[in-house]
Structure 1
């Protein structure tokens, strides 16, 4: 079962991939990247400086020994990260 959130998070990356993130005042370490994909915005919403992409990662991560699955999104327009979904 998954839950939808859409919460802003702070993310640290390594080699272009999420390595750690803070969600609800807890530091999560990414143990594995399960999947990744990119969704392009409509061409009329893009510019030379912003390709208008949303980059998604499904990761296994946890604040300790307990590991869950999380879906993260990076928006190139806002340069912001969101935690979109979490699985139990």
Structure 2
């Protein structure tokens, strides 16, 4: 089962992919990227000349011995990272 969050996170990138992130004051190390996809933002719903895109990653990450599956989103227009979903 998954849970939705939408929490802001801090992310470290290497070679264009997340390698670590901090969520709720805990550091997570990315063990495996399971999926990556990009969605163009709806330019007709914004007044920005470049609405950017949203980049998503589904990955396995661990903090200590505990690991889980997480979905991260990066918004290129605002430069914001969110943890959208976590699986039990």
Structures share fold, TM-score greater than 0.5: yes
Q: Deviations over 1:46-72 (max 9, x none)?
A: 53xx45100000010011122100000
| Runs of 4+ residues deviating >4 angstroms | none
Q: Quote the residue 2:62 is aligned against.
A: 62
Q: Which runs of 5+ in 1 are unaligned?
A: none
Q: Quote the residue 1:86 is aligned against.
A: 86
Q: Quote the residue 1:9 is aligned against.
A: 9
Contact 2:21 2:28 in 1 (8 A): yes
Cα deviation for residue 43 of structure 1 reads 3.3
Q: Quote the residue 2:76 is aligned against.
A: 76
| Alignment TM-score, normalising by the size of structure 2 | 0.91
RMSD: 1.2
Secondary structure at 1:77 match in 2? coil
